[in-house]
A and B are shown apart, each in its own frame.
Chain A
Amino acid sequence: EPEVTQTPSHQVTQMGQEVILRCVPISNHLYFYWYRQILGQKVEFLVSFYNNEISEKSEIFDDQFSVERPDGSNFTLKIRSTKLEDSAMYFCASSEDLGNQPQHFGDGTRLSIL
């Protein structure tokens, strides 16, 4: 069964450094998402992406965050200057369509900011 893949599985970064999290969505999916989950808390929406542009973003997704689809397969999340509070599990998801189509999640990247 096709799946969303994310790399790396774990990233340790010094505060203030830039980090790029990578995702390969399911190949026939058109909608892409990033979520994060701070340890012990709920899954929170960051951003959705369709047709090479952001379709919605949350308050968390400030100027320090950006997303890109640099080629036909990858979907990246960049955090420019990481803060301690960015430490979380970051999940990429994709869906074939909106609404009734489920979002399929990757295994996540655990980001630890020191």
Chain B
Amino acid sequence: GQNIDQPTEMTATEGAIVQINCTYQTSGFNGLFWYQQHAGEAPTFLSYNVLDGLEEKGRFSSFLSRSKGYSYLLLKELQMKDSASYLCAVPTAAGNKLTFGGGTRVLVKP
């Protein structure tokens, strides 16, 4: 089976940095995805990690440690529009199903 844990909510100030942690247990690792979901909208793809280390993509970076079953999403230079839920998700070994964590709601304050 698969299990994903992430904090429920985080608050940060505009311009600051926030790190969203995700721990996972999965039988057969096939990478880890991060999605952003604004309230009432669809999840949108942010990043994919399959190898250990940090992947940087503009203001957003994602880190993976396979040995620790751990990932984080780093949001830099926070903007008000970054207020959203951030979902950690892992595919099955066959890759045809995503299991999502409960999401971390990030509130950016001015």
Residues of chain A having any CB pair with chain B under 8 Å: 31, 33, 35, 41-45, 48, 50, 55-56, 58, 89, 91, 97-100, 102-108
Contact = CB atoms under 8 A, between A and B. Distances in A.
Nearest to B4: A42
B50 interface: yes
Given A100-B48, A104-B45, A108-B42, A48 B97 contact: yes
B48 A43 contact: no
Contacts, number: 63
Nearest to A100: B31
B41 A107 contact: yes
B110 to A, nearest CB: 26
Interface stretch (B15-23, B61-69, B73-81, B88-96): B88-96
Contacts of A107: 41-42
B103 A42 contact: yes
The secondary structure that dominates the B interface is: loop
Interface in B23-47: 30-31, 33, 37, 40-45
Contacts of B48: 100, 102
Given A48-B96, A48-B97, A50-B96, A99 B43 contact: no
Nearest to B96: A48
B42 A91 contact: yes
Contact of B98 (A45, A50, A55, A89): A45
Given A42-B100, A42-B102, A98 B42 contact: no
B96 A55 contact: yes
Nearest to A110: B40
Contacts of A89: 40
A55 B95 CA distance: 11
Given A91-B43, A102-B45, A105-B42, A43 B94 contact: no
B98 to A, nearest CB: 6
B101 A102 contact: no
